[in-house]
Structure 1
Amino acid sequence: MGIDAMPRGYRLRRMTLGESYAKERPNGLNALRLLLAIGVIFWHSFPLTGTQFAGGEPARQLLENLCVDGFFAISGYLITKSWLRSPRVRMFIVARTLRILPAFWVCLIATALIFAPLGTWFAGGDPLRTITSPESITYVVKNAGLWMVQFGIAGTPLNVPFEGAWNGSLWTLAYEFMCYLAILALGVAGLLRRSWALWGAYALVWIATFVHLIEIAGIELLGTSFRFALTFIAGALLSKYENKIRLSWGGVAIAFALVVAAAWLPNYLLLAAPAIAYGFVGLGGLVSHQRLAFRNDFSYGMYIYAFPMQQILASAGLSFFGVVGFGLVASLFTIPLAMASWFLIERPASRLNGRLQARLRLSSTRKSAPVLV
């Protein structure tokens, strides 16, 4: 949809963020998330080809963190908006579980039965021995709860620059699901309707990050939790004020300029978290061209399958392409897997969610209907 095809009301004044995601208006959020997933592929191409990043600390901080932080900010916006639109516990849990777990479980199984044996074959070993190894089963079972505790399978991957881990991306999914549960807890407590609750949560996480609680406590888990919570809550705050926040290309440009400037800080999120949220969510809303308004969301499949695909390519000796070439080849090889994940697993799970949601709404309506005597 070009600007001439936009509803007249959009041209009379600057759009709000909420208006940019109106149902009748296409947006570029799926395309943007796909680009973020590809960005993660390129960053992982450094360790997976054994290449040291030669840039300065600001560039490293941006390249290493920005794409994943962008994912969390977008999720914070969408998940909070989902709860505010339909604050029902069972419906929320069903929707979140079906979106993340089925494709995740299939990825674990595919890694144990396909990627690991194939990597063993490239390394000159016996693929059947890898398949029948007890670690193939424990890889799926131990990691099935989203918390990654086993990264390798029967000593594989071997003879690659980054040994011992088949998927270095999946560990973030546990933190994402914890953010979902935090929104659920705040929603059930009635605090999401109160603006001070989210602001208070953001302030607490910001202060904890600022005083380096992670160094005081000596627990890495806390520092990672603060990182993702900061961007997720920033996205959640956008959903609270989406009908008041004005959206413009200039505003998005300023937001990303602020993100770049913040990279010179020891922790760029202390300044950049709100800018990351506004920049990425706003960019997704501003992009309204039909060709960029992807109906299918391949980003999750790209994210969960890219790392094992990169390990296979490294096992096959394709690291010589260099970081950029390796990233391009890995992206191209991962796209079919992402498409298969969407069409065979994620979209059917989404349709199942729709049917279950309809049943839950019907059940809720029947329970709340007055009894005629």
Structure 2
Amino acid sequence: MVAGGEPLPRRSHSGYADRNLGFAWLRLVAAFIVITNHSAGLAMYKGASLVPPSWQFAPGHLALMVVFAMSGYQISGSWQRDPSWWRFCARRLLRILPPVLALVVITVFVIGPIYTTWSLGDYWTDKQTWRYLVGTFLVLLLQHDLPGVFADNPYPYSVNGSIWTLPMELVGYGIVLVVGLLLALRIPRLVVLLPLTVGMFVLDTLIEAQGGDVGSLISSLPTGPLVGYMVPFVLGMVLYSFRETIPLRRLPALALFVAWLLLRTSPVEQFLLPIMATYCAVVVAHHWPKRLERTGPWVMGSYGTYLWGFPVQQMIVSAGVRDPWVLVACGVVAAYVCGVLSWRLVEVPTARLRKYLRKPRAKPAAPTAAMSPEDEVSPAAAQTSASRSSG
């Protein structure tokens, strides 16, 4: 649930809000949908759902498709704004890791001792406690179990099931980096992005034909979901790269959404869903109502909301809640509060460290070579945009 924003071009009219606000809203709504999607399985039994099976629809899956599409779009903007590989990596890690560190420390040192069924001595001396602390913070070595924690809940299999998507986000960053370096060699965009996009669709189709179960690259990266979510991520990159030629219109977005609703039980849905999710998300963000501009400070906590939703729900279930709709109501509110606190106490302070990663000022041009104001983005503008980014 992370992404970088970018300074926006001036619009010819003032009918819409900053698109980063639209992205922030969409991310927050997606986090709420994921929390809702988890509620039945956490409150009742593994595999339970609030959506009737006849619908053949997983709201959480669609929400994550939208999130990865937005990440592909926004992270591409982050690279273009400053195509330095080491500053790009530093900014991405500075964005994704501090909230995870806060989450893991509180989970291991506060939540764990309170909710474990083991004795504290056994809890602190078990290797899994420390594997969870280190491995989860490193993201690519995710751990899901803490000794005895939530063992009596209907879903004792994971302390925080939401964080399984974080390694995929890191893979997406790597794709943006590799593509950016190739484009820096003056390889045409189409030559780089077309084979990448087609290749992702083909690979996703092959994996789907095998039932989606093709193992994991490493323990934290199940190959099937990884490829599935990288499809909208790459499509988001394509939309950003060709943003000057691909029109972002509401009518085509609506048509794609209706087409997906009508065809979602057909084989075409596998291709239509990521395309619809990507295009609709970017279009909606670009057409976000201007009257909602003042909501900015209250919708920036989507990343923290997503990270904290699962353990917060597990704690509520541990208190005796077994009605999934009650869990939805309580979990959404509690996770949102945690998300806002994460944004204000962790993410904003660590974002200030980006000032040490500013793009070096360009050397003064020769007197005969004038520079237009559009040739560079000021550090202040970049920092302002980064603070607007929600995830």
- Asked whether 1:237 is paired with 2:230, we answer no
Aligned pairs for 1:13-52 (under 5 A) are 27-50=21-44, 52=48
2:357 is equivalent to residue 357 of structure 1: yes
1:300 and 2:303 aligned:
yes
Residue aligning to 2:341: 340
Distance 1:8 1:145 in 2: 41
Q: Hey, what does 2:319 align to over in structure 1?
A: 316
2:196 to 198, 201, 204: 201
Counterpart check, 1:116 vs 2:112 = yes
CA deviations on 1:43-102 (whole Å, 9 max, x unpaired) are 001210125237555734332410111110000000112212321112211111111011
Name the SS of the counterpart of 1:211 in structure 2: helix
**Native 8 Å contact 1:208 1:226 kept in 2:** yes
> Which residue, out of 166, 172, 193, partners 2:159?
166
- On the 8 A contact 1:48/1:162 being kept in 2, the answer is yes
> Which residue among 126, 131, 137 is the counterpart of 1:138?
131
Distance apart, 1:251 and its partner CA: 2.8
Is 2:242 aligned against 1:248?
no
Tell me: CA distance 1:82–1:300, structure 2 relative to 1, closer, same or farther (3 Å).
same
Taking the aligned partners of 2:112 and 2:260, their CA distance within structure 1 comes to 38
Structure 2 partner of 1:95: 91
Alignment-derived partner of residue 382 in structure 2: none
| Partner residue in 2 for 1:271 | 272
The worse-fitting range, judged by mean Cα deviation, of 154-163 and 144-153 is: 144-153
Cα distance in 1, alignment partners of residues 292 and 325 from structure 2 = 26
Q: Deviations over 1:184-228 (max 9, x none)?
A: 011112278512321211101111222337729832532122101
Amino acid at match of 1:303: Y
Deviation at 1:118, TM superposition (A): 2.5
Bigger mean CA offset, 168-177 vs 191-200? 191-200
Q: Which range moves more in the overlay, 149-158 or 341-350?
A: 149-158
SS in 2 for 1:165: coil
Query: For structure 1, which runs of at least 5 residues remain unmatched after alignment?
Result: 1-6
- The reply to whether residue 261 of structure 1 matches residue 262 of structure 2 is yes
> Paired residue for 1:82?
78
With normalisation by structure 1, the TM-score equals 0.83
Q: AA paired with 2:335?
A: T
List alignment gaps of at least 5 residues for structure 2.
Answer: 1-9, 217-221, 367-391
Quote the Cα distance in structure 2 between the aligned partners of 1:145 and 1:214.
Answer: 32
Question: Are the equivalent residues in 1 in contact too, given 2:72–2:236 (CA < 8 A)?
Answer: yes
1:107 to 103, 108, 133: 103
Asked if residue 330 in structure 1 is aligned to residue 325 in structure 2, the reply is no
Distance (whole Å) between structure 2 residues aligned to residue 267 and residue 109 of structure 1: 44
Structure-2 separation of matches of 1:259 and 1:271: 6
Q: Report what 1:185 is aligned to.
A: 178
CA RMSD in angstroms, aligned pairs only: 2.9
Residue 4 of structure 1 is matched in structure 2 by none
In structure 2, relative to structure 1, the CA distance for the partners of 1:337 and 1:252 (3 Å cut) is same
Aligned length: 345
Distance of aligned partners of 1:267 and 1:133 in 2 relative to their CA distance in 1, 3 Å threshold: farther
Change (3 A) 1:307 1:60: farther
Moved more, 181-190 or 146-155: 146-155
Identity over aligned pairs, percent:
23
How far 1:330 sits from its partner (Å)? 0.4
C-alpha contact (below 8 Å) 1:318/1:326 kept by paired residues: yes
Report the Cα offset of residue 267 of structure 1: 7.9
Supply the AA of the counterpart residue of 1:230: V
1:250 partner SS: helix
Corresponding residue number in structure 1 for 2:66: 70
Q: Could you say if the C-alpha distance between residues 8 and 116 of structure 1 is closer, same or farther in structure 2, counting changes exceeding 3 Å?
A: closer
- Residues 327-372 of structure 1 show CA distances to partners (whole Å, capped at 9, x for unaligned) of 111011112211111111111121111x1222x524xx47x999xx
Do the aligned partners of 1:43 and 1:64 also contact (CA within 8 Å) in 2?
Answer: yes
Q: Comparing 262-271 with 326-335, which one deviates more in the overlay?
A: 262-271
8 Å CA contact 2:69, 2:234 repeated in 1: yes
Higher helix share: 1
Q: Distance in 2 between matches of 1:181 and 1:57?
A: 36
